[in-house]
Amino acid sequence: MTWFSPGDVADRTGLSLDTLRYYEREGLIGPVRRDSGGRRLYSGGDLAWLGVVTCLRRSGMGIADLRRFVGVVRGGAPASTEPVEMLRLHRSRLVEDIEHIRVALSVIDGKIAHYERAGARSA
């Protein structure tokens, strides 16, 4: 089994060491193994899981939701349908977000075109 140092994991995930420790404190990952000196050793599984976490995080899921999500995944089958509801809710937010971004894109493209014409005139 391969283990990864905090520095390695920071490099691979793009997260800072502080953020890694923060996520652990918040229960988003771990408990992370330690070596005899108390240093963290991340497993390949930890790394993969961090991939999922950062993906959801980047999509705007908050720490609290993420923690609940993690609890469900690591606790095995969900006791209720509530966690799935949470996912569905986040999913629908994401669909909305995409739509908002699309609208913003068209506004921005309009402005860019406008200023490009202005720039061409004044140049």
Partner DNA sequence: CCTTGATCTAGAGTGCGCTCAAGGTTGAAT
Partner DNA sequence: ATTCAACCTTGAGCGCACTCTAGATCAAGG
Residue 50 interacting entry, from its own copies, DNA, none, C-beta within 5 to 8 Å by type: none
Which strands sit side by side in the sheet containing 33-34, from one edge to the other?
3-4, 40-43, 33-34
Q: How far apart are CA 70 and CA 1, in angstroms?
A: 23
Residues 33-72 that bind DNA (CB under 7 A): 34-40, 57, 62-64
Q: How far apart are CA 20 and CA 29, in angstroms?
A: 9
The verdict on 48 binding its own copies (CB under 8 A) reads no
Strand, helix or coil for residue 81: coil
One character per residue 98-117, x = contact with its own copies (rule: CB under 8 A): x-xxxxxx-xxx-xx--xx-
Residue 33 interacting entry, from DNA, its own copies, none, C-beta within 5 to 8 Å by type: none
Q: How far apart are CA 78 and CA 75, in angstroms?
A: 7
The verdict on 30 binding DNA (CB under 7 A) reads no
Alpha helices in 14-81 (DSSP H): 17-25, 44-58, 63-74
Tokens of 42: 């991340």
Binding residues for DNA (CB under 7 A): 5-8, 10, 16-19, 21-22, 34-40, 57, 62-64
- Contacting positions for its own copies (CB under 8 A): 52, 55-56, 58-61, 69, 72-73, 77-78, 81, 83-84, 87-88, 90-91, 94-95, 97-98, 100-105, 107-109, 111-112, 115-116, 118-119, 121-122
